[in-house]
Structure 1
Amino acid sequence: MTALEFTSVVEHMAPTLRPAAYNLTRDSDDAKDLVQETLLKAFVNRNKFKAGTNLKAWLYTIMRNTFINHYNKVTKRTSSIDTADLIQLKPSDDRIVTLNRASGAFALQDIHAAIDKLPEDLRAPFMMYYIGYKYLEIADKLELPIGTVKNRIHLARKELKQELKAYAYAD
């Protein structure tokens, strides 16, 4: 199979990869990235494809392995973090930039106080979500069902919104 034929066939199959990528990632942007990376690896490793075999299966295998490798890398990178440390994470005043430092400092104190008032079972998943963990990662770290994690984050937001309603914008 020539390079031009291979490129044409692979580009024709690209749309069929998107649903499978979404099933793996559960995020549309991550799925698009996964498909793009899969196609790149397919083009780079075109010479490893054996003509007469199932190209679609070969592409799905590349995609699945790419996803697994990325998941393992992310898990390895975050697995050394202790959740007790995450609960204590709060942005420091020197990392916050505001136009009016006085009102910004008051708002930041109020936000910290509101977060401190949250019950422990709501604060831990909320803080993990705040620093960038996805729901599934939080559920795994805290050994909770994903529905419980989503509910606790929702309740934490609701309580924070109520506690900080003085800062709400008027419509």
Structure 2
Amino acid sequence: MTTLEFSYSLNKMSTSLKPFALKLTRDMDDANDLLQDTMVKAFTNKDKFQEGTNLKAWLYTIMKNTFITNYQRMVRRGTFVDTTDNLHYINSSGSRIENDAYQNFTLDDTHAAIDSLDDVYKTPFMMHFRGFKYHEIAEKLNIPIGTVKNRIHIARKLLKAELTVYRHKN
């Protein structure tokens, strides 16, 4: 296939690719950008296209992969662009201010809940929290490993009941 024929085929396929681009991006400008990126990649890689194969499927694959790559790049960047006229960068790292108030409340309540546990449950729970393995805790406290697991389980259950205010709702 000559370059002219390939270019003509790409041009014909662009109308059928546009709805797919719009479905992926959910924005007309982004869909047009994705379509353009797809056509540029297809044209620059025309030597990789094997004549006799499905050009439309090849273009759909390029478009899907381009969209995924762009999306992953945006997520990695961690910046969300406000689409208002001002085009502010929301959550950009340069203007982010930390407020530890919520974390401090959570931490204080967690410590209070742990302190309210009976020592029978608190000791193995805190040892496990600090990185001890079940068998190490069993050796140190001179109790069976099943008892260690049970006490840690009960401690978690009690803490979960005590800290229900912090449970996330889906």
Instruction: Compute the TM-score of the two structures, normalised by the length of structure 1.
Output: 0.47
Structure holding more helix per residue? 1
Structure index of larger Rg = 2
Instruction: Compute the TM-score of the two structures, normalised by the length of structure 2.
Output: 0.47
